[in-house]
């Protein structure tokens, strides 16, 4: 095997083009879509009398308008479902965010090549998939042919070493990485992540990191598969992955970043850019009005477990609305059975059903002009979560919950935490 991890994976999927070519045609292992983006292509697909290449390799989720908050969105969701039904593709309706469902699916395995009609498809890289987002027209072609064209990306290698210091999570690593790279620092690149940490990063942490690479412009953001990957796939699928691709010894990286997690502190991204990062201990004091735990970047089992642990027997600050949305039905059910949902509700959190929610300004807590939000969601571009003048700070679950308790995002948040 030759080249970086993405070279190896692309080479294994070539239909046209050769190993050295810049532009190639590749065969896809799966295509991901959701209500908002698939509805945009349904008419054109049907007008051309196209058929889906393999319904078993398509994951469709009704997650953005779940349930729909307006009549227009209900119509879009219905269009999506009619299209899926006509093509013989099942829809995961109200069962969670497409990217979380992807990592919960046996389609997402090391060395797979997946495209999705949503930019955060890169989350699949947590399980070592070359997974990437595209627009509806590209996905229309992918659904019809099971192929697409790719420009072979250069690779940035990121080595994660050491042991995360207290209070630092995968999300802090992710935010810090985007801060280091900048909004276009990984533009068109594959970000190849090597977990060389002392204890190994959990799959939840890997999802948070892979997910956020797109905010630095990445095409792929994937972990080199290892024992943690094998263990995850065994538990999820009952079998180990059939391929554990590794970069070749001759792999040439455009650059290598080494992050010693012991040097890292909890970090946030300030309005209005995911790369506008600062350690929490230098943030000053920011009164907040809303807090959000959820989205494909932050509504996982470990996030809900931590939120419940911090909120047990306490109350969300009077000035703050805390919205909590599990990323999938599976996570929601685990949280229910462990008593976390009860703890969150009793603490005053607004707990909703698995869906995207306020992350993209959709519903379940869209921001008004004077809202200041601390959020585990993906982006804080101006106007994304609601009003043009609203402000969002992207943060880890721990930073978000502590802010919701104290009413402020401030420099001594972690030192003064109740637990």
Partner 1 sequence: MLNPNILEGRALPLGDDVSTDILHPPEYFGLDEETVRRGFLAKFDPSASAWVQPGDIIVAGRNFGCGSSREVVVRTLVLNGITAIVATSFARIFFRTCMNLGIACLSPKDAQSVGDVARGDRLRIDLRDFVLASEHGLRVELQPLPPFLVRLRESGGIMGLLT
Q: What are the start-end ranges of the H helices in 296-418?
A: 301-311, 329-337, 340-346, 397-406
144 binds partner 1 (CB under 8 A): yes
Among 67, 88, 135, 339, which residue sits at the site for partner 1 (rule: CB under 8 A)?
135
Both tokens of residue 220?
Answer: 């792929």
Per CB under 8 A, the segment of 134-142, 258-266, 294-302, 398-406 that binds partner 1 is: 134-142
Rounded-to-integer distance, Cα 358 and Cα 305, Å:
21
Among 112, 273, 302, 375, which residue sits at the site for partner 1 (rule: CB under 8 A)?
273
DSSP-assigned letter for residue 198: S
262 binds partner 1 (CB under 8 A): no
271 binds partner 1 (CB under 8 A): no
Among 99, 317, 379, 410, which residue sits at the site for partner 1 (rule: CB under 8 A)?
379
Q: Which is nearer to partner 1, 82 or 412 (CB)?
A: 82
Q: Which is nearer to partner 1, 233 or 367 (CB)?
A: 367
CA 196 from chain centre, in angstroms, equals: 22
Rounded-to-integer distance, Cα 119 and Cα 135, Å:
8
78 binds partner 1 (CB under 8 A): no
Q: Which is nearer to partner 1, 139 or 327 (CB)?
A: 139
Count residues near partner 1 (CB under 8 A). Answer: 44
Q: How far is the CB of 355 from partner 1 (least distance, A)?
A: 15
**In 3D, which of 113, 163, 134, 123 has the Cα closest to residue 295?**
123
Q: How far is the CB of 85 from partner 1 (least distance, A)?
A: 19
Q: Which is nearer to partner 1, 75 or 258 (CB)?
A: 75
Among 18, 22, 47, 419, which residue sits at the site for partner 1 (rule: CB under 8 A)?
22
Print burial letters for 362-377: b (CB count within 10 Å at least 16), e (below 16). bbbbbbeeebbbbbbb
Q: Name the strands in the sheet holding 220-223, side by side, starting at the edge strand that comes first in the sequence.
A: 220-223, 190-197, 155-162, 255-260
**Under DSSP, is residue 189 helix (H, G, I), strand (E, B) or coil?**
coil
Rounded-to-integer distance, Cα 130 and Cα 222, Å:
7
Residues 45-74 that bind partner 1 (CB under 8 A): 48, 50, 72
Rounded-to-integer distance, Cα 153 and Cα 23, Å:
10
Q: How far is the CB of 141 from partner 1 (least distance, A)?
A: 5
Q: Which is nearer to partner 1, 84 or 344 (CB)?
A: 84
Q: What is the dihedral of CA 325, 331, 334, 336, to 10 degrees?
A: 20
**CB of 305 closer than 8 Å to CB of 324:** no
364 binds partner 1 (CB under 8 A): no
171 binds partner 1 (CB under 8 A): no
212 binds partner 1 (CB under 8 A): no
Residues 83-122 that bind partner 1 (CB under 8 A): 117-119
3-state secondary structure string, 124-135? HHHHCCEEEECC
Q: What is the dihedral of CA 385, 186, 200, 325, to 10 degrees?
A: 10
Per CB under 8 A, the segment of 202-210, 322-330, 345-353, 378-386 that binds partner 1 is: 378-386
Per CB under 8 A, the segment of 34-42, 97-105, 237-245, 347-355 that binds partner 1 is: 34-42
Binding-site ranges for partner 1 (CB under 8 A): 22-23, 36-37, 39-40, 44, 48, 50, 72, 75-76, 79, 117-119, 133-138, 140-141, 144-145, 148-149, 183-184, 187-188, 217, 219, 273, 360-362, 379, 381-384, 388
């Amino acid at each position: 095997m030759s080249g970086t991890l993405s070279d190896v994976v692309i080479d294994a999927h070539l239909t046209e083009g050769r190993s050295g070519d810049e532009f190639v045609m590749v065969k896809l292992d799966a295509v991901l879509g959701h209500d908002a983006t698939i509805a945009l292509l349904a008419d054109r697909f049907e007008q051309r009398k196209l058929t889906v290449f393999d319904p078993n390799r398509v994951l469709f989720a009704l997650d953005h308008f779940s349930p729909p908050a307006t009549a227009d969105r209900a119509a879009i969701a219905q269009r999506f479902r009619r299209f899926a039904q006509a093509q013989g593709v099942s829809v995961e309706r109200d069962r969670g965010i497409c990217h979380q469902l992807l990592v919960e699916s046996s389609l997402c395995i090391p060395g797979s090549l997946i495209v999705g009609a949503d930019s955060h498809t890169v989350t699949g890289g947590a399980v070592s998939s070359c997974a990437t987002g595209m627009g509806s027209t590209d996905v229309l072609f992918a659904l019809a042919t099971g192929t697409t064209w790719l420009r072979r990306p250069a690779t940035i290698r990121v080595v994660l070493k050491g042991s995360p210091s207290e209070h630092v999570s995968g999300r802090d690593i992710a935010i810090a990485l985007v801060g280091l790279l900048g909004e276009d620092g990984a533009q068109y690149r594959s970000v190849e992540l090597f977990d060389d940490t002392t204890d190994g990063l959990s799959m939840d942490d890997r999802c948070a990191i892979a997910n956020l690479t797109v905010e630095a412009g990445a095409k792929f953001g994937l972990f080199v598969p290892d024992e943690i990957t094998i263990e995850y796939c065994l538990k999820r699928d009952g079998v180990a992955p059939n391929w554990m691709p590794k970069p070749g010894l001759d792999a040439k990286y455009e650059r290598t970043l080494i992050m010693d997690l012991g040097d890292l502190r909890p970090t946030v991204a300030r309005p209005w850019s995911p790369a506008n990062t600062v350690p929490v201990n230098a943030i000053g004091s920011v009164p907040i009005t809303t807090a959000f735990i959820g989205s494909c970047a932050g509504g996982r089992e470990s996030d809900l477990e931590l939120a419940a642990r911090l909120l047990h027997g306490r109350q969300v600050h009077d000035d703050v609305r805390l919205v909590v949305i599990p990323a999938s039905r599976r996570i929601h059910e685990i949280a229910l059975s462990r008593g976390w949902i009860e703890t969150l509700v009793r603490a005053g959190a607004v707990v909703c059903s698995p869906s995207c929610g306020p992350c993209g300004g959709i519903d379940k807590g869209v921001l008004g002009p004077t809202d200041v939000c601390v959020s585990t969601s993906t982006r804080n571009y101006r106007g994304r979560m609601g009003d043009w003048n609203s402000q969002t700070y992207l943060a880890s679950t721990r930073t978000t919950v502590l802010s919701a308790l104290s009413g402020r995002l401030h420099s001594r948040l972690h030192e003064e935490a109740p637990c």
